[in-house]
Chain A
Amino acid sequence: MSDVGKVSPVEGVSSRLTRTRPTSRHWREAVVKVLLLASAAVAVLTTVGIFASVIFESLVFFREVNPFSFLFGTHWAPTSEPPSFGFLPLLAGTLLITLIALIVATPLGLLSAIYMSEYASPRVRNVAKPLLEMLAGIPTVVLGFFAALTVAPLIRNTGESLGLDVASESALAAGLVMGMMIVPLISSLSDDIINAVPQSLRDGSHAMGATKSETIKRVVLPAALAGIVSAIMLAISRAVGETMIVVMAAGLSANFSFNPLQAVSTITVQIATLLVGDQEFDSAKTLSAFALGLVLFFFTLALNYIALRTVQKYRQQYD
């Protein structure tokens, strides 16, 4: 009611006049308003539901398995007898693949964004932007197929011709393709951020005699740094939570290794494989997937929160 009066005095008057005798329209509008609020609440309910379901099953799991041996154990073998639930090898595998992905995606994404916003002619932009959007729209199951059947054999053959021992499901293959997956994310976010840097900063730098690249490196990028860092954080959160590429191209056996040529497993791979197939909800094996989900949930949430905060701080500088 309060905002009605604020926006429109006429509306305020009419509702005051009819308050004693609500018409069918008033009832209808009240119902519609409740429905709208309910739709908005679905998002909250989903978050609560996700949180509750993941935490509830995890608590059951932690009744059987000591949380400390879960978080700091170095051996992951949920199907062996007795099972062991050491989370560290999975964390190492996830971080390794994410790191490879970032090493690929950060320079490619950032340089593409710089080129498109600072150098490219409108014609190049009109071609490149849809191409990047197309890459962003490729389903991850397709990228996983490509990683497993094309990139992995390519790396393996190259490695063998160099005399290296490469696993057929190497972390490198999964990481490379995942990197290509997040290039469009980094480039489109960075593009927005670079475009948001005021033109006056560039003009000032050019007036001092700086070349375009000097301006970009010494003026534009420092000004956009916070935004770029947050874009990279969002990319990390995307890479950590990505499932299909690693399910299809990375391994199942959780080696505690940082060698990119070896097979490693990730958190998401384990969640997916533990829950596909048999579904007894009392076994620690099944429940461990929810504990992994809990860790993943908080990890991505934290990254996302920090990223959003960084962007908000940065935006205040120029508005």
Chain B
Amino acid sequence: MTDTAYRQRLAKRYAAESRFKAYGAIALLLTSAFLLYLLVDIARKGWPAFFEHRATIAVTLDAAQIDAANPGAADFSGIVKESWRSKFPDFSSRGDKKKLNLLLSQAASDDLRQQVIANPALIGKTVKTEVLLSDEADLYLKGQSQEIDKAVLEKVLATVPVERHVSWRLLTNGDSREPELAGLRGAIMGSLLTVLVALVLGLPIGIGAAVYLEQFAPKNRWTDLLEVNINNLAAVPSIIFGLFGLAMFLNLFGMPRSAPVVGGLVLALLVLPTIIIASRAALKAVPPSIKEAALGVGASDQQAVFHHVLPLALPGVLTGAILGLARAFGETAPLLMIGMVAFIADVPKGFTDAATVLPVQIYLWSDLPELTFQSKTAAAIMVLIAILFSLNAVAIYLRKKFERRW
């Protein structure tokens, strides 16, 4: 009797054991599944944005319409539309012509203009040229939307060759109101400029602070205060840094709005605690015997640190710096506060030009109603995540390659 009761209790306890283990495995699986679903969902949404559709048509570049001395000034829009419509004599009514024009992107004429400016010998000839289709036609061809006159489009497809190409515009164009033309070049440049400022300011200050705290700081109340301060700073929400940037850099110092230099300043302060904490850990990992040996042969305190301890800690410091860099690349909220959120079509050329950054561009595009922008947003996220993952891969590589156990 007692024997069966005992066995039952034991079976129960073992069942509880395997249940508990299963809960843990499920938690881990759920989290991984979420990450996987997120990545797949975004890739699925963003993939089409890496492609565009172009039709190949013959365009007559009439010498009467294009001034060879100044080819850029000619009405290429008219020329392209004329040739385009002439391919479809069936569509003669005003409404049909309008529908035909709607299938072409604005870029069609701009592309031809560039082609002629680059090669004026083309004037007077009939050239085969590829014209970009509009976003509505593109969406239909990608099977994403039906909001277009199917009869007209199908007729076009039957008459002229339309092909799918990789869309480099996504990376080489600036932002645009036209969904099929909007690109990330401005945002990527803005991100690079901003993060460069953050790195140039944040890295030396962060390493300096870490070296001071780890190697030179006396043990007293001020040092304790400094440490508590840095830990607290790491926990301050990023949007508060934005408020600080707005009140201090823009209002008090009168620095320009939307400028990478201000964004970089704010991000430098934001990633400072990350860099300091990582650098301190790396410095702490170098055994004191190294420093003592240097001091023993007559090096000064600073020589011991800068010639021996710091170089040995450098891989760890760099890893921390790269992680801080990745954080700066993905940060959005503080940059909204300092006005890096405007529509900016031009690619920024300097640190004080109005600019936006990749995450903010994602935020801006995600708000737009056009379907093409939705997939461009996802594509922009893919670009951002690719940058972040490669930064992390570099950090992991550095850690693996230079990691040293003492």
Contacts and interface: CB of A to CB of B under 8 A. Distances in A.
Nearest to B374: A149
B247 A149 contact: no
Interface in B198-226: 204-209, 211-213, 216-218, 225-226
Contacts of A25: 300
A296 interface: yes
A140 B20 CA distance: 32
Contact of A268 (B237, B247, B291): B237
B238 A241 contact: yes
A11 interface: yes
B103 interface: no
A32 interface: yes
B25 to A, nearest CB: 6
A201 interface: no
Interface string A31-48: 011011111101110110
Interface stretch (A62-70, A71-79, A80-88, A242-250): A242-250
Residue of A37, A44, A139 with most partner-chain B CB within 10 A:
A139
A119 B24 contact: yes
Interface string B259-278: 00000000001001100100
A214 B13 contact: yes
Interface residues of B, number: 94
A300 B231 CA distance: 12
B343 interface: no
A116 B248 CA distance: 45
A112 B31 contact: yes
A108 B23 CA distance: 9
Contacts of B337: 271-272, 275-276
Interface stretch (A2-10, A95-103, A159-167, A254-262): A2-10
Interface stretch (B63-71, B79-87, B141-149, B381-389): B381-389
B contacts with A: majority SS: helix
Contacts of B389: 134, 137
B301 A138 contact: no
Contacts of A293: 239-240, 243
Contact of B241 (A39, A50, A134, A180): A50
B272 A46 contact: yes
Contacts of A275: 242-243, 246, 336-337
A141 B330 contact: yes
B106 interface: no
B362 A47 contact: no
A133 B35 CA distance: 11
A20 B264 CA distance: 45
Nearest to A132: B31
Contacts of A118: 24
Interface string A183-212: 110010000000000000000000000011
Nearest to A15: B300
A149 B38 CA distance: 11
B366 interface: yes
B232 interface: yes
A296 B337 CA distance: 16
Nearest to A30: B302
A208 to B, nearest CB: 13
Interface in B290-313: 291-292, 295-296, 298-302
Given A44-B226, A108-B30, A137-B326, A115 B276 contact: no
B236 interface: yes
Interface in B137-160: none
Nearest to A143: B38
B377 interface: yes
Residue of A40, A133, A303, A308 with most partner-chain B CB within 10 A:
A40
Contact of B232 (A4, A247, A301): A301
Interface string A289-315: 110010011001101110010000000
Contacts, number: 273
B366 A241 contact: no
A248 B336 CA distance: 13
A301 B301 CA distance: 36
B13 A145 contact: no
Contacts of A43: 209, 226, 229-230, 233, 272-273, 276
A contacts with B: majority SS: helix
Given A241-B240, A272-B333, A141 B359 contact: yes
Contact of A301 (B235, B244, B302): B235
A35 B299 CA distance: 20
B332 A141 contact: yes
Contacts of A120: 28
B41 interface: yes
A112 B24 contact: yes
B56 interface: no
A272 B239 contact: yes
Nearest to B301: A4
B5 interface: no
Given A8-B301, A47-B233, A180 B34 contact: yes
Contacts of A46: 233, 244, 269, 272
A290 B247 contact: yes
B251 interface: yes
Nearest to B27: A111
A40 B21 contact: no
Contacts of A42: 205, 209, 269, 272
Contacts of A14: 298, 300
A276 B211 CA distance: 39
Contacts of A144: 363, 366
Nearest to B36: A131
Contact of B218 (A2, A124, A141, A303): A2
Interface string B327-344: 001111100110101000
Give the 7 A-B residue pairs with the shortest CB-CB distance, closest first: A241-B237, A115-B24, A39-B208, A139-B330, A53-B247, A111-B27, A213-B20
8 contacts: A8-B296, A139-B331, A140-B332, A140-B333, A146-B38, A214-B16, A301-B235, A301-B236
Given A115-B21, A134-B389, A268-B237, 15 more contacts: A7-B292, A11-B295, A11-B300, A33-B302, A36-B211, A43-B272, A47-B233, A115-B24, A141-B360, A143-B38, A241-B238, A243-B239, A248-B363, A272-B337, A293-B240
